[in-house]
Amino acid sequence: MQNNAAKSALIEAGRWVSQKGWVPATGGNFSIKTETGFVVTASGYDKGHLASEHFLELNQQGEITAGSGKPSAETALHLKLYQLQPDTECVLHTHSVAATVLSRFIKGDTLSIQGYEMQKSLRGVRSHEDALKIAIFDNDQDIDRLAELVAQRHQSEPVVHGVLIRGHGLYAMGNSVAETRRHIEGLEFLFACELERIKLESAL
């Protein structure tokens, strides 16, 4: 995608995720692959009110080629997801309540979801009977180290739709902006269902 089109698509995606309540305060960050690298949101802004000056252009090595301010503090994770899955065109990171709480509640390194028709909103999922597995990583302020853990895990369990960062949020990816948005929406629905199910079952 061309740089200006990428920024417009991310401004629109930001409005949408903000309206959903999935990027409170200055949480979240977004990127889209371009012909020369990728465009990423600048750090520290409200992602529901982005303008074209709130983006930086980076090359395929993650070096800044245009734009002012600081790129997202989590840029290294975006870069890593593009490197791991070359068909990824867009990465959207959100901080929803459901993703934040569920990733803390699950103590292991995987969220396993089964039994929901909405699993089929995710690329390649054909049945509610499939076990959908989303990798969970402990939060880390060292994003390079976190990105390296994601890369290691990808060798045995390829990251397809996204990953959860514990107590932090969701990184969703897709082969277009539309697919990444669909993956966020589908995953958020599933996270909310799982939280409700856990609460109901613990009340019994």
Ligand X SMILES: CSCCC(=O)C(=O)COP(=O)(O)O
Write out the residues near ligand X by the rule CB under 6 A. 25-29, 41, 43-44, 72-74, 93
Is 128 annotated in a binding site? The answer is no
User: Please, which residues have CB within 8 angstroms of residue 142's CB and are 6 or more apart in sequence?
Assistant: none
Q: Pick the closest to residue 14 from 46, 40, 42 (CA basis).
A: 46
User: Which is nearest to 192 in space by CA: 126, 131, 101, 63?
Assistant: 101
Helix (H) or strand (E) holding 152: helix 143-156
CB of 97 or CB of 125, closer to ligand X: 97
- Asked if 143 contacts 76 with a C-beta cutoff of 8 angstroms, the reply is yes
Residue 97 or 193 with smaller CB distance to ligand X: 97
- For residue 105, the surrounding DSSP H or E stretch is helix 97-105
Q: Of 42 and 193, which has the nearer Cβ to ligand X?
A: 42
CB of 53 to ligand X, least distance (A): 15
**Residue with smaller CB distance to ligand X, 29 or 180:** 29
154 appears as a binding residue in the annotation:
no
Residue 107's Cβ-side half-sphere holds a number of Cα atoms within 13 Å equal to 0
At closest approach, how far in Å is the CB of 188 from ligand X?
16
Minimum CB separation of residue 72 from ligand X in Å reads 3
Nearest-angstrom CA–CA distance, 193 and 98: 9
Compute the least distance from the CB of residue 15 to ligand X, in Å: 16
Residue closer to ligand X (CB basis): 90 or 113: 90
Query: Of 72, 63, 64, 96, which is closest to residue 172 (Cα–Cα)?
Result: 96
Report the nearest approach of ligand X to the CB of residue 91 (Å): 12
Annotated binding site: 93, 95
Annotated binding site for Zn(2+): 93, 95
